[in-house]
Chain A
Amino acid sequence: MTKSEVTLKCHKIIGGCGEGEALVSHEPICFYLTNPKTGVVRERTHELYGKNLAGKVLVFPSGKASSVVQIDGLYKLATNGLAPQALIVKDVETVLVVSAFLVKVPLVDRLERDPFEVIHTGDFVRVDAEKGKVTVSKH
């Protein structure tokens, strides 16, 4: 197996480092619609339905739903130790910034290449928000 690695510049919003297996969602995510005790997405119509967010580097276009439920959703996951390791988004908004800030999960956007082209579910991704770097390893 050949291993390839690519490092991309990104824009830090919430600092810190996180690494793990990538989980890519092409649809917006509402953290409230995950099971807070397992981290599994319970939104039936969502492409990640049944997938587990815990410990993953989550790549998604944006957040959705009301501020109260979004923040509470990620907060509950984090209290149970089930938050994603890092968040890579395309369109960030206030509520998502607040959510990531409260649970201290690194949040970055503006990758120098389209994250949906470079990162695929199962890749190993390391996010160093402080240095503004995302490293993607494929096996």
Chain B
Amino acid sequence: MHLTKEEEKILKGELGEGTQKALELLVAIGDAYDAEKMISISRAHAASSGQEGDLYFVELLAKGGARCEVPTSTNPVYDLDFFDRRFPVPKFEGGVAHKVMEAYEKVGAILSWSCTPYMAENIPLYGETVAFSESSATPYVNSVIGAKTNREAAQSALAAGIIGKTPLYGLHIRENRKGTCLINVKASLKDEFDYTLLGYAVGKLVGYGIPVLTGLSRQPTTEELINFCAMSNVPGAISMFYIPGFTVEASTVKEAFQSDKPKDKFTITDSDLKNVYKELQTTSGKIDFVMLGCPHYTLKQVEEAAELLKGKKLHKGVSFWICTSATTKLLAQRAGLVGTIEKAGGNVVVDTCIDEPCWVTYYGGVGMTDSPKCAYYRRFKEAIVSRLEDCVEAAVEGKWK
């Protein structure tokens, strides 16, 4: 790979060990893909996770004096003080999470602790070159916004944020952004939960690839697109997709395939979505908790939950959690929504997600969620997956069907 004089200097360690390690990683990735050079990025999102491998790298960079060159946001971890007062959080894991959060602060990251940074804290523009990890954020950035990012790991995205560059490969090259398969959606999609099921079905069908969807009757909403992005990356690896006419980068099917022929063609019907729904349920009956906000709930979703909970009282035996970003919670508080949810007995928690060990107290329980991604992590024993309305109903009744 061709490196500039400035990059050679960084690689020799002349600007400190932190930037040296960051660039070493980027060069290794560039070598793997035969990238000809580095290109500048304008922002990054590091999928911090509070795990040991994460800690090792961010601390290495922090101790080596590295600072983010471009705005770099962070994924959920958890506030140890908040959880320690409520649940038994394993000591070692808690310590790792705490140190991870400190190290990201040291490297000057945007401490968003959110998996949907593109909503408020770190928003790419159409056509921007960025490095966004988090499997649900990558397709949103590529397809909904029309910026360019590869499917990054937390560490490669952080390294890119530190250096302000990424190797030129993959989805930064136009030819690699063409559709791989055509999916005719014959299912009737009413709400965001239908898009959740559709995302899951597409991920399962395609595995790894760039699907081009046709047959959708209207512009999907923000929440529908967020769900589609997240759930297609549960059984699959979908870093990009097209809905010609509705998503920005291609207005026709032909454009999405860059005039090539699709390699595969599929159809998804109502009965396919029904089957996905069935597949997601591992039990029914009594529930121990409801977990919403995977990905982080938007203000609109928090509002819907508050509306459903208004004047109701949650069942004694059921804990009710909504995960969201600090930004969204602030706005929800201003609108009185958090008060309504808390009055019913629910909680709105920021900076975290189900895939963190702070929820260890629920591991043996039956959880209900509107997110197959949340259920997949299976941090709890049994899972029921259904729409928000059903989750609220079950939380009030103490059981589902």
Contacts and interface: CB of A to CB of B under 8 A. Distances in A.
A72, A76, A92, A101: most-surrounded residue (chain B CB, <10 A):
A101
A12 B34 CA distance: 11
Contacts of B25: 97-98, 101
A109 B153 contact: no
A11, A74, A79, A98: most-surrounded residue (chain B CB, <10 A):
A98
A66 interface: yes
Nearest to A100: B28
A117 B31 CA distance: 25
Nearest to B52: A75
A94 B152 contact: yes
B150 A102 contact: no
Interface in B103-140: 133, 135
Contacts of B54: 68, 71-72
Interface string A73-93: 011100100000000000011
Nearest to A62: B208
B56 A102 contact: yes
A102 B49 CA distance: 15
B373 to A, nearest CB: 10
Nearest to B234: A66
The 3 A-B pairs with the shortest beta carbon distances in the complex, nearest first, are A75-B53, A67-B153, A98-B153
B282 to A, nearest CB: 18
A67 B355 CA distance: 13
A111 B50 CA distance: 36
Contacts of B170: 94
Given A72-B54, A94-B153, 7 more contacts: A67-B47, A67-B133, A68-B154, A71-B155, A94-B29, A94-B170, A97-B156
Interface of A: 11-14, 66-68, 71-72, 74-76, 79, 92-95, 97-99, 101-102, 109
Nearest to B51: A72
The secondary structure that dominates the A interface is helix
Contacts of A72: 49, 51-54
A13 B51 contact: no
B397 interface: no
Interface string B170-201: 10000000000000000000000000000000
B234 to A, nearest CB: 9
Interface in B152-167: 152-156
A11 B52 CA distance: 29
B137 to A, nearest CB: 12
Interface string B8-43: 000000000000000011001101100000000000
B155 A92 contact: no
B156 A75 contact: no
Contacts, number: 74
Interface string B52-87: 111011000000000000000000000000000000
B151 interface: yes
B28 A14 contact: yes
A71 B153 CA distance: 9
A25 B150 CA distance: 27
Given A68-B154, A76-B52, A98 B29 contact: yes
A93 B170 CA distance: 10
19 contacts: A13-B31, A14-B28, A67-B135, A67-B154, A68-B49, A68-B154, A68-B355, A71-B51, A72-B49, A75-B56, A94-B32, A94-B150, A94-B156, A97-B29, A97-B156, A98-B29, A98-B155, A101-B28, A102-B53
B25, B153, B156: most-surrounded residue (chain A CB, <10 A):
B153
Contacts of A102: 53, 56-57, 155
A107 to B, nearest CB: 8
Contacts of B150: 94
A70 B389 CA distance: 35
Nearest to B135: A66
